[in-house]
Amino acid sequence: MMTSDLSSSPSSSGTEFADPNPSTDPETNSERVQSQLESMNLSEPSEVSDGSHTDYSGGDDDDENAGAVEVALSNGNEGGVSNGCVAGTSVEEEIEGGEASSRAEYPVEMEAGEEPPSPTSSGYDGERGSSGGATSTYKADDASEDEIREANVDGDTASQHEAAWLPGKRHVDEDDASISWRKRKKHFFILSNSGKPIYSRYGDEHKLAGFSATLQAIISFVENGGDRVNLVKAGKHQVVFLVKGPIYLVCISCTDETYEYLRGQLDLLYGQMILILTKSIDRCFEKNAKFDMTPLLGGTEAVFSSLVHSFSWNPATFLHAYTCLPLPFGSRQATGTVLQDVCASGVLFALVMCRHKVVSLAGAQKASLHPDDLLLLSNFVMSSESFRTSESFSPICLPRYNPQAFLHAYVHFFDDDTYVMLLTTRSDAFYHLKDCRIRIEAVLLKSNVLSSIQRSIAEGGMRVEDLPIDRLLRQKPNQGQAGHESPRDVSVGTGGPFGLWHFMYRSIYLDQYISSEFSPPVTSHRQQKSLYRAYQKLYASMHENGLGPHKTQYRRDENYTLLCWVTPDFELYAAFDPLADKAMAIKICNQVCQRVKDVENEVFLQGASPFSW
Amino acid sequence: MGCAASLPDRNSGALNGLSSSENAAPADAKNLRVKLVLLGDSGVGKSCIVLRFVRGQFDATSKVTVGASFLSQTIALQDSTTVKFEIWDTAGQERYSALAPLYYRGAGVAVIVYDITSPESFKKAQYWVKELQKHGSPDIVMVLVGNKADLHERREVPTEDGMELAEKNGMFFIETSAKTADNINQLFEEIGKRLPRPAPSS
């Protein structure tokens, strides 16, 4: 927590990303925006990526510890910021690993005492928009203290289990004048093309009107030049823009994630909004450019915050595939059969899910469910508490299926974890869907599926320790299944055989992936998050446009040895001890693939690829 | 209200919507069954009233209802008739208000709820009264409920205002507290008493 003197230099703040004009009207402030942009060097062509972003080098540098860089596009102190970070890297690493470790997705490496007492010293004096600048001084201080207390609480709980993460919006008392707000590592904004705030991850949307107007001005300034702004880099920060008709989405991040993934996150955020409202909200903006969308999203903060949280723990967000709960083949088949029957009776999609994992799913003929829709759907259901209270019937839109129209979703929880979702186009189908649920429930009970599900949750998924090793690779053959009890003379370090720490296997034609459970030494939430970020970079580098499909990649740094293998059938991502032997690692990867094929009937939903019904 | 345009036409079209599938077993004079819909602004405590009535529970942590929840509960009246309530607890959020016809169409009872500490929610209640008079079935039993009566020190909607609105529109009026369970059972018993009884011969 003592890092902010190393990483940020608030006293040197020069040009801040301040509200250029209290008005949110783009026309009236365009001149001032112009000067604002110039002062931020935004007009420099090299700073505005045209989409090819070949200058992006984030894939290789591994300085994840960006820590407390101000979330402000402060080009004026860019030098100061990066100097601070470079100097602070090693120290911060230790500190992050200790005190600040394992916090959930919203770490703020800052210390109230380190900050200038008033935000006015960082360039905000008198420049604030409509958000009541008079109160900001004491507010910022309050927020800082709150933050530190809360950060400690998070640190205690978040490492236990992802379930310890509580959904819901935090820090609503902040705005762009709050120091704590500006120090957050990753911001998400949704705004309208007239600059009206729609959603902000942190802080009160209404107080961020001035900030939103500035974002809007940047986008429209570049658009007026016949171009499109995709990415702005400012020191450690990336500002990623996504324009979806009248809706603008912006991410400001110093998390060192790839541009592609951040953009993918904005895409999902947009999809989540469409799931709640459908794309016909566009028409509201056609009728009234200054339409205020925030009331329409009332009560959905938890849905968005839970999605943002999933960007750091759910590989489905970057693999664009879904994962199944491991289950005996018979259990999944019994479930699938009754779901197919239900679909034959006029239901569009029928799914039985366990938390974010699929037990089984079926669709009407020619109806296909995109993995991203599945992700957004399960996020919506899991983060809306009311679904657990009683059976529900709710309008829902699947953005990849049909972004224009609502479907109607019947949702019922069988127990705390397992639920059924039945989607239909008919708004009067509730009683039919209720009958379908009763049929499904009867089958699940008769075939003991619900208890298999509970057993599977208790046992967890595949473990690297349990991988059976080819006898040829062993010096002393021992029984494969009892892996973690037996001595592993040939292994390096902890984890699985030969230093295998973790793997993810994505079946391309099934649109599904299986990921191993986290094993020592990748145990803390922070380590898991950092491994996922390494995978994301690997994924991005394997799927980069224009470089052609790579087949394998072997990469070693001080944290991991990463191996990626892409074939037309599957993609394998594996993380090893940094000291792992390359030849052995390759052999182990073959073993992993073999093992996945051996158990594919239990870990995948066969014959039900969302694209191939 | 911006979401109204986003509804597929069929939603507002001809549907006798969510009337019970079990129409096959008609109610007799001693065993009534009725579809009841709760309407009102978000956060007034519609779900809390239902959960207090159906499960005897109260959970202070607010759980925003999505779409509508369906619950049912049967009560016995003093004259030994039983009434099965099939309750649609609708979401109060603005984006769902265009969907309300889906839930109140065919309903025998509409319970319009406001929060006695929120004049805004009372305004919304007035909106729902008008909406139901325009689009609800003509013989619907309408009830006005001022919830959160336990917060009397923060009251901003006088009881008289509620009574006046109810009287003008021929509604039954009651103030309740889902938190203390005050008047919750009375509310549903009173509704049961007011339900039209089928003619004994049928």
**Is B5 near chain A, with CB under 8 Å?**
yes
Given pLDDT bands bounded at 50, 70 and 90, which one contains residue B107?
Answer: very high
Whether A384 and B64 lie within 8 Å, measured CB to CB: yes
Distance CA A269, CA A329 (A): 34
Cα-flanking dihedrals φ and ψ of residue A446, to 5°?
-65, -40
Distance CA A208, CA A79 (A): 27
Residue A199 lies in a domain: yes
Distance CA A551, CA A107 (A): 36
Task: Say what the pLDDT of residue B142 is.
Answer: 96
Mean per-residue pLDDT, A239-257: 93
Domain holding B84: CATH number?
A: 3.40.50.300
Distance CA A403, CA B6 (A): 11
List the strands of the sheet with A237-244, edge to edge. Answer: A197-200, A186-192, A247-253, A237-244, A231-234
pLDDT in tens, A477-505: 444 444 444 444 444 446 667 788 999 99
Whether B18 and A430 lie within 8 Å, measured CB to CB: yes
Query: What share of chain A has pLDDT > 90, as a percent?
Result: 46
Whether A299 and B21 lie within 8 Å, measured CB to CB: no
Last residue of a domain, one of A459, A487, A521: A459
Whether A393 and B6 lie within 8 Å, measured CB to CB: no
CA distance B99 to chain A (A): 9
The DSSP string of A83-117 is: HHHHHHHHHHHHHHHTTTTT--S------GGGS-S
Question: E strands along A227-288, which residues?
Answer: 231-234, 237-244, 247-253
pTM: 0.76
> A386 to chain B: which residues are within 8 Å by CB?
47, 63-66, 69
Task: Say what the pLDDT of residue B189 is.
Answer: 95
Distance CA B73, CA B83 (A): 8
Structural domain that includes position B56:
31-194
Residues A445, A341, single domain; the answer is yes
Question: E strands along A111-158, which residues?
Answer: none
Residue A97 lies in a domain: no
Residue A260 lies in a domain: yes
Distance CA B9, CA A583 (A): 62
Residues A578, A598, single domain; the answer is yes
- What ipTM does the predicted assembly reach? 0.87
Domain holding A413: CATH number?
A: 3.30.450.30
Alpha carbon separation from B12 to A241, A396, B97, B98, B103 (Å, rounded): 37, 16, 12, 9, 11
Locus of tokens 């790839």: A258
Residues A454, A549, single domain; the answer is no
**Is B96 near chain A, with CB under 8 Å?**
yes
Residue A210 near residue A136 (C-beta atoms within 8 A)? no
Residue B200 lies in a domain: no
**pLDDT exceeds cutoff 50 at B79:** yes
> B65 to chain A: which residues are within 8 Å by CB?
386, 392
Task: Say what the pLDDT of residue A543 is.
Answer: 83
Given pLDDT bands bounded at 50, 70 and 90, which one contains residue A167?
Answer: low
* Residues comprising chain B, all counted: 202
Mean per-residue pLDDT, B85-93: 95
| Range in A31-40, A414-423, A564-573 the model is least confident about | A31-40
Residues A19, A50, single domain; the answer is yes
Omega before A521 within 30 of 0, i.e. cis: yes
Task: Say what the pLDDT of residue A150 is.
Answer: 38
**CB under 8 Å to A395, separation ≥6 — which residues?**
A406, A407, A408, A409, A427, B7, B67, B96, B99
Residues A179, A295, single domain; the answer is yes
Domain holding A521: CATH number?
A: 3.30.450
Given pLDDT bands bounded at 50, 70 and 90, which one contains residue A465?
Answer: confident
Whether A395 and B67 lie within 8 Å, measured CB to CB: yes
**Is B70 near chain A, with CB under 8 Å?**
yes
What's the total number of domains in chain B?
1
**pLDDT exceeds cutoff 70 at B30:** yes
What's the total number of domains in chain A?
3
Encoded amino acid at A541, one letter: S
Residues A595, A493, single domain; the answer is yes
More confident residue, A412 or A481: A412
**pLDDT exceeds cutoff 80 at A6:** no
| Range in A162-166, A261-265, B5-9, B176-180 the model is least confident about | B5-9
CA distance A292 to chain B (A): 9
**pLDDT exceeds cutoff 90 at B42:** yes
Residues A53, A193, single domain; the answer is yes
Whether A394 and B5 lie within 8 Å, measured CB to CB: no
Residue B167 lies in a domain: yes
Whether A431 and B95 lie within 8 Å, measured CB to CB: no
Among chain B residues, the shortest Cα distance to A280 is held by B6
**Is B168 near chain A, with CB under 8 Å?**
no
Task: Say what the pLDDT of residue A84 is.
Answer: 33
The radius of gyration of chain B from alpha carbons, rounded to an integer in Å, stands at 16
Interface probe for A, chosen from B1, B3, B10, B54 (most Cβ of A below 10 Å), is B3
Interface probe for A, chosen from B35, B90, B95 (most Cβ of A below 10 Å), is B95
Task: Say what the pLDDT of residue B201 is.
Answer: 55
**Is B71 near chain A, with CB under 8 Å?**
yes
Residue A119 near residue A136 (C-beta atoms within 8 A)? yes
**Is A561 near chain B, with CB under 8 Å?**
no
**Is A282 near chain B, with CB under 8 Å?**
no
Q: Which helix (H) or strand (E) holds A215?
A: helix A209-224
Task: Say what the pLDDT of residue A495 is.
Answer: 64
Last residue of a domain, one of A311, A345, A377: A311
Distance CA A83, CA A535 (A): 28
**Is A284 near chain B, with CB under 8 Å?**
yes
Distance CA A592, CA A554 (A): 16
Residues A492, A520, single domain; the answer is yes
DSSP structural state of residue A610: T
| Range in A52-61, A321-330, A428-437 the model is least confident about | A52-61
Using CB atoms, pick whichever of A300, A391, A428 lies closest to residue B18: A428
Task: Say what the pLDDT of residue A1 is.
Answer: 39
Whether B20 and A431 lie within 8 Å, measured CB to CB: yes
Residues A48, A179, single domain; the answer is yes
Mean per-residue pLDDT, A11-33: 38
Using CB atoms, pick whichever of B22, B61, B66 lies closest to residue A394: B66
Residue B23 lies in a domain: no
Task: Say what the pLDDT of residue A210 is.
Answer: 87
Task: Say what the pLDDT of residue B63 is.
Answer: 86
Residue A25 lies in a domain: yes
Domain holding A304: CATH number?
A: 3.30.450.70
**pLDDT exceeds cutoff 90 at A573:** yes
Residue B3 lies in a domain: no
Report CA torsion sign: B20, B26, B29, B31: negative
Whether A283 and B42 lie within 8 Å, measured CB to CB: no
Residue B10 lies in a domain: no
| Range in A328-332, A361-365, A576-580 the model is least confident about | A576-580
Interface probe for B, chosen from A380, A430, A437 (most Cβ of B below 10 Å), is A430
Do the strands A512-515 and A500-507 form a parallel or antiparallel pair, or are they unpaired?
antiparallel
Among chain A residues, the shortest Cα distance to B20 is held by A431
Structure tokens at A202: 């942190």
Structural domain that includes position A185:
4-57+171-311
Using CB atoms, pick whichever of B6, B18, B64 lies closest to residue A386: B64
Given pLDDT bands bounded at 50, 70 and 90, which one contains residue A118?
Answer: very low
Residue A177 lies in a domain: yes
- On average, the pLDDT of chain A sits at 74
**CB under 8 Å to A318, separation ≥6 — which residues?**
A261, A264, A535, A536, A539
Distance CA A560, CA A563 (A): 9
Task: Give contacts of B 76-95 with A, CB under 8 A.
Answer: 89, 91, 93-95
Task: Say what the pLDDT of residue B26 is.
Answer: 54
Residues A574, A481, single domain; the answer is yes
Whether B2 and A385 lie within 8 Å, measured CB to CB: no
Residues A43, A181, single domain; the answer is yes
**pLDDT exceeds cutoff 90 at A568:** no
A198, A202, A206, A211: CA torsion to nearest 10: -90
Mean per-residue pLDDT, A1-12: 37
**pLDDT exceeds cutoff 50 at A7:** no
Residue A76 near residue A14 (C-beta atoms within 8 A)? yes
Alpha carbon separation from A324 to A12, A138, A296, A415, A524 (Å, rounded): 51, 49, 33, 18, 24
Query: What share of chain A has pLDDT > 70, as a percent?
Result: 66
Using CB atoms, pick whichever of B7, B61, B69 lies closest to residue A391: B69
pLDDT in tens, A193-242: 999 999 988 888 888 888 889 999 999 999 999 989 999 999 999 999 99
Given pLDDT bands bounded at 50, 70 and 90, which one contains residue A34?
Answer: very low
More confident residue, A117 or A178: A178
Distance CA A466, CA A472 (A): 17
> A394 to chain B: which residues are within 8 Å by CB?
66-68, 91
pLDDT in tens, A253-293: 998 889 999 999 999 999 999 999 999 999 999 999 899 99
Task: Say what the pLDDT of residue A549 is.
Answer: 62
Task: Say what the pLDDT of residue A152 is.
Answer: 37
Task: Give contacts of B 138-167 with A, CB under 8 A.
Answer: none
Q: Is A151 helix (H, G, I), strand (E, B) or coil?
A: helix
CA distance A280 to chain B (A): 5
Highest average pLDDT, of A2-6, A462-466, A528-532, B118-122, comes from B118-122
Structure tokens at A353: 């899910």
Whether A432 and B21 lie within 8 Å, measured CB to CB: yes
Residues A292, A333, single domain; the answer is no
Residue B9 lies in a domain: no
| Range in A158-162, A531-535, B103-107 the model is least confident about | A158-162
